[in-house]
Amino acid sequence: MNPHAKQFNAAARSTTADLHHREWIQKALGGYYAKRDENKDRFQSWSSARTAAAAIKQEAITHLDRYLVEFADRLEARGAKVFWAPDAQEARDYIVRLAREKQVRSIIKSKSMTSEEIHLNDTLEREGFEVVESDLGEYIVQLRKEAPYHLVFPAMHLNRGQISDLFQDKLGSKPTNNPGDLTMIARNVMRRKFCEADMGISGANFAIAETGMISITENEGNARLTTSLPPIHVAIVGIEKVLPKLTDLALFLPMLSTAGAGQLLTCYNTFYGGPRQPGEPDGPREFHVVLLDNGRTRLLADAEQRNALRCIRCGACLNVCPVYKNVGGHSYGTTYQGPIGSVITPHLRGLRDWKHLSQASSLCGACTEACPVKIDLHHHLLRNRRNAVTSQTSVPEKLLYQGFAFVMRRPEFYRLAAGIARLLRPMQWLVQGTWLDPLRPWTKTRSFPAFAAKSFREQWNQRKKT
């Protein structure tokens, strides 16, 4: 078993055994469901909104070559610098080089999963820069030296007590159970960091080709400070984030916040179209956009699965996924957790190492039902499984399914196999619970049914005779 699969199994085993943790996650999402449904009802038709959104994103990714160039040209015309990063390494190198050149010491960041994807913080810290996350949840997990637990709610696994303990330990604050007080503790630290920072790094929720702007959705106002106070703003943008028109946001902004957070609109939605223009009193002097491929064009080349690039990273599929809710966000060992992560990680980081995530699903389809851009997520898991078998076959498993197909094509062998199983079943108690027991993975936690005294077909045949 590869190390990633091993890590996943071990982490999943420990989280599923932690009932307290699982109940906390279920409870944390409880409020979301109610608010999401309430706000879905405020759309004229959620179902046609999904269809429209899927079509717009499909158009964008189908003509990515055109829209990306349009986006970059418009941005550059206003003095922004666009860097096309084929992979994580080149994206990191560009940002490090820029920071060194400008003699940056302190960097403030707003929430960006794309920056997590390229492990930017680790690199910047190793290079001697101070990096502070300014989204409260991200700040908390940064202090704990953890990865975000969820695409949208990075610290959802922690309760107030744990956050208070963390702040006492790392910031020397007084214990408190009051969310307002906890926020003020973080805010006091952060305000200073905003003023000191020489560079602000953000992600982007959407990249508008028509106007050459990025759009950032947030609730805390921290992204606005990150992108406007420091003299340099760097935005890291996955190439799939592009939307053709500005008016597309009329649909996508409420859709993203409804599906992602159960809010009709988040508190702040801001468009950024370049650095400070002549005559403007404020804003960053430099604006750099790093357009990141990092495996996305590989997924784009796959006609069968490219619609996974429609993803707007809302996290709706995580919120409804029974696997996510029981194994938790840290078990995956990926940047993108839950169903969408299981679908795209094999494309971004290699099927061989990440195929186990596609197998770790009951294929229930709750994700597909929830996805606002109609990605058929659970069917993609099936396709990943098929591709995994085609690219790297496990001989015993192959033999098992060849045997299965041999038997199931021949009714007489099916009856024979059932007969043998019936003979062996009473002997199962001899090995029950030991490693020899073929039913052990099932019977460790669940009882296994006994064979019926007579199968349906035996009883059917008898009935026919009488």
461 binds other proteins (CB under 8 A): yes
- Tell me the CA end-to-end span of the chain in Å, nearest whole number: 55
408 binds other proteins (CB under 8 A): yes
17 binds other proteins (CB under 8 A): yes
Of the ranges 11-19, 58-66, 223-231, 336-344, which one interacts with other proteins (CB under 8 A)? 11-19
Site string for other proteins, 429-458 (x = CB under 8 A): ------------xx-xxxxxxxxx-xxxx-
Site string for other proteins, 325-344 (x = CB under 8 A): xxx-----------------
317/112 Cα distance (integer angstroms): 18
- Judged by beta carbon, residue 144 or residue 385, the one nearer other proteins is 385
- Judged by beta carbon, residue 81 or residue 415, the one nearer other proteins is 415
Give the burial class of 43: count Cβ atoms within 10 A of its Cβ; 0-12 exposed, 13-18 middle, 19 or more buried: middle
DSSP β-ladder status, 286-292 and 199-202:
unpaired
Residue 432: count of CB within 10 angstroms of its CB: 13
- Judged by beta carbon, residue 178 or residue 359, the one nearer other proteins is 359
- Judged by beta carbon, residue 26 or residue 48, the one nearer other proteins is 26
Rounded (5°) CA angle 76-57-114: 60
Of positions 405, 424, 431, 436, contacts other proteins by CB under 8 A: 405
Of positions 38, 165, 169, 397, contacts other proteins by CB under 8 A: 397
Q: How far is the CB of 323 from other proteins (least distance, A)?
A: 6
Of positions 197, 366, 371, 375, contacts other proteins by CB under 8 A: 366
Of the ranges 185-193, 195-203, 286-294, 397-405, which one interacts with other proteins (CB under 8 A)? 397-405
80/277 Cα distance (integer angstroms): 10
Size of the site for other proteins (CB under 8 A): 61
228 binds other proteins (CB under 8 A): no
Q: How far is the CB of 316 from other proteins (least distance, A)?
A: 15
458/419 Cα distance (integer angstroms): 12
> Which residues of this protein are in contact with other proteins, per CB under 8 A?
9, 12-13, 16-17, 22, 26, 322-323, 325-327, 359-366, 368-369, 382, 385-390, 397-398, 401-402, 404-405, 407-411, 414, 418, 421, 441-442, 444-452, 454-457, 459-461
